[in-house]
């Protein structure tokens, strides 16, 4: 067992976990933050994306024990009572259907928009599609996801 201490969504948390515990498991089982979804357990689908120290990471392939002292943000931590502009854009533009991939898509998209804006680069639909290669949606065909990200980018 390893004792880990980290900040999750702005709150200090700690726990004793077996060394092989994945971050996705720690978030869902220990902290009951079930917005982080596990779709493939092989780091292919992106439903489990969270931000670790400000960077998007697939939590299903990250050991919790390796994150002692880390700052983790999950989908539950992106809003302050109101929907984040990315969440609102996904809602407004029908960027979700079943919703399973949505938390990971939103976490990936928030990072994408922030990086492009910080670099002063235009975020084109082709760039969005390329950036989403690590996230799989089986329902929407991506058209409305791209539209949602474009909409949120204009508001962020």
**pLDDT single digits (tens) 85-143:** 999 999 999 998 888 889 999 999 999 999 999 999 999 999 999 999 988 888 877 89
Q: Helices 143-155 and 85-92: crossing angle, nearest 10°?
A: 140
Tokens of 130: 């390329």
Cα gap 140→119, rounded to integer Å: 29
Nearest CA to 34 among 17, 46, 48, 53?
Answer: 48
CB 99 within 8 A of CB 33: no
Q: Say yes or no to pLDDT of 45 above 80.
A: yes
Domains along the sequence of the chain with CATH: 2-77 (3.10.20.30), 85-155 (1.10.150.120)
Query: How many residues in the chain?
Result: 156
Instruction: Give the single-character DSSP code of 63.
Output: B
Of the pLDDT bands very low, low, confident and very high (cuts 50, 70, 90), residue 156 is very high
Mean pLDDT of 34-47: 88
CB 42 within 8 A of CB 48: no
Instruction: Give the single-character DSSP code of 97.
Output: S
> Strands 2-8 and 71-73: what pairing?
parallel
């Amino acid at each position: 067992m390893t004792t880990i201490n980290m900040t999750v969504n702005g709150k200090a948390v700690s726990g004793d976990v077996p060394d092989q515990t994945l971050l996705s498991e720690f978030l869902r089982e220990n902290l009951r933050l079930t917005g982080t979804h596990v779709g493939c357990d092989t780091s292919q689908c992106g439903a489990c994306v969270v931000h670790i120290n400000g960077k998007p990471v697939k939590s299903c392939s990250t050991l919790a024990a390796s994150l002692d002292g880390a700052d983790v943000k999950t989908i539950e931590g992106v809003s302050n009572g109101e929907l984040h502009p990315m969440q609102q854009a996904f809602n407004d533009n029908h960027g979700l259907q079943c919703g399973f991939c949505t938390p990971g898509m939103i976490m990936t998209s928030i990072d994408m928009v922030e990086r492009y804006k910080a670099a002063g680069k235009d975020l084109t639909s082709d760039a969005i599609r390329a950036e989403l290669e690590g996230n799989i949606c089986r329902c929407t065909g991506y058209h409305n996801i791209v539209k949602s990200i474009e909409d949120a980018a204009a508001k962020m």
